[in-house]
Amino acid sequence: MLQAVDDTGHSVTIWNMPRSEIPIIRQRALYCPVCKESVIVKAGLRNIPHFAHYRSSECVHSGEGSYHEHGKLDLYLWLKHQGYQVKLEYYFSELNQRADMLLLIKDKRIAIEYQCATIPIDQIVSRTKGYLEAGILPVWILGATKMKRTGSNSLHISTTDQSFLYQPHPSLPIRIFYYCSETKRMIIYQDLLFLTNTKTAGTLQSFALERLSWKDLFRPRPLPRKWFTTYWQHYRKKWPHRPVSPYQKKETEWRQWLYLRNLTVHSLPDYVYLPTRFQYLLTTPPWVWQSLLYVDLFQKKERFTLPQATSLLKHHIHPPAYFPLVSNRNDPVFEYLQLLVRIGILKDNDQNHYAVNRTTV
């Protein structure tokens, strides 16, 4: 932490304090503004002077390392230099919650969280929900140490970090932010598509923080369709031949499920495993839930409805609360069925009733 409170409740800031005053601060009783536990002064030669909890602390803000402290201060000064009204480590008493920064823009309150450590999904959701219910807009920026790059325009995003997916407006693409306090660069990853439960492809761009503005975070940067088409065709061709580890229990169970229905990965039609924009809303990989529709609807029925398809996949869809930062709740099942209409696999009359084209199935 860069700030603590004393016995009178007054805030004590240490990061910009002259080194000569730090020994005096060490002698004072200082506390975390959130959990009220005692904190100690950390002021080594390499790190920013800051306050730290004792090791036994269970406060949500304990364990913040120098990477986090440097990044938090970078982002604070970055906004300050742009002329914004911003407060560092602001404590919302009505929420009993502290944000790394509070940004004030006209009548909007924006809580900025720089998250470097892994925290449980329910904690992400509850903190975000608390902000939203109080009329505060939350923006989460992840430490770049959490970014797992798999290609020039692809990342592995863990199921926990998917709760940080952010859509500022229904008309804008989904994105996720990373900041590296060592290289002083902001990474913006947006317009992404999930190819598996964690493997994604999207527009991945890195910017020197000093050359980026706050508004630049929200500019749309669409994924080049030509690049993605080439990438997808290569990936889809390799997919049926990928090795499956015996430790991949769900994948093994799915293949056994196919076998009991006289099917294999190689015998599935090409339209089982199409990339869909809202795949992130599903708990299972695209080939699993799409093959379920193929086997239990397309092969068995001449006609079916959207509610029937949705009901079939009700246990494969994340609850709405799982993505608190996404402003538009889309229907991944409807999206997939409409894709099949476009390529002639299905026919629709009113977008709720579908007929199977037996010449293609």
**Which residue, of 62, 85, 107, is where some domain finishes?**
62
Numbers of helices and strands, H then E, in the chain: 8, 16
- 73 and 19: one domain? no
- 26 and 125: one domain? no
Within-domain flag for 348:
yes
**pLDDT tens, 333-357?**
999 999 999 999 999 878 789 999 9
**pLDDT tens, 187-233?**
999 999 999 999 999 999 999 999 999 999 999 999 999 999 999 99
- 57 and 71: one domain? no
Domain that residue 36 falls in: 1-62
- 216 and 278: one domain? no
Within-domain flag for 361:
no
Residues 6+ apart with CB under 8 A from 301: 356
Mean pLDDT for the chain overall = 89
- 222 and 101: one domain? yes
pTM of the model: 0.86
Confidence at 280, pLDDT banded by 50, 70, 90: very high
DSSP 8-class letter at 294:
I
**Which residue, of 242, 264, 288, is where some domain finishes?**
242
**pLDDT tens, 71-111?**
999 999 999 999 999 999 999 988 988 999 999 999 999 99
- 34 and 128: one domain? no
Tokens of 286: 């695209």
Query: Residue 61 has what pLDDT?
Result: 61
- 149 and 290: one domain? no
Within-domain flag for 247:
no
**Rounded to an integer, what distance in angstroms lies between the CA atom of residue 103 and that of residue 91?**
13
**Rounded to an integer, what distance in angstroms lies between the CA atom of residue 212 and that of residue 207?**
7
Within-domain flag for 248:
no
- 183 and 49: one domain? no
- 17 and 74: one domain? no
Q: Encode 329-351: b = buried (16+ Cβ within 10 Å), e = exposed.
A: ebebbeebbbbbbeeebbeeeee
- Specify the number of domains making up the chain: 3
**pLDDT tens, 4-31?**
777 777 777 777 777 767 776 777 878 8
Query: Residue 63 has what pLDDT?
Result: 56
**Which residue, of 62, 78, 112, is where some domain finishes?**
62
**pLDDT tens, 30-72?**
888 777 788 778 776 667 777 787 777 767 665 567 889 999 9
Query: Residue 45 has what pLDDT?
Result: 62
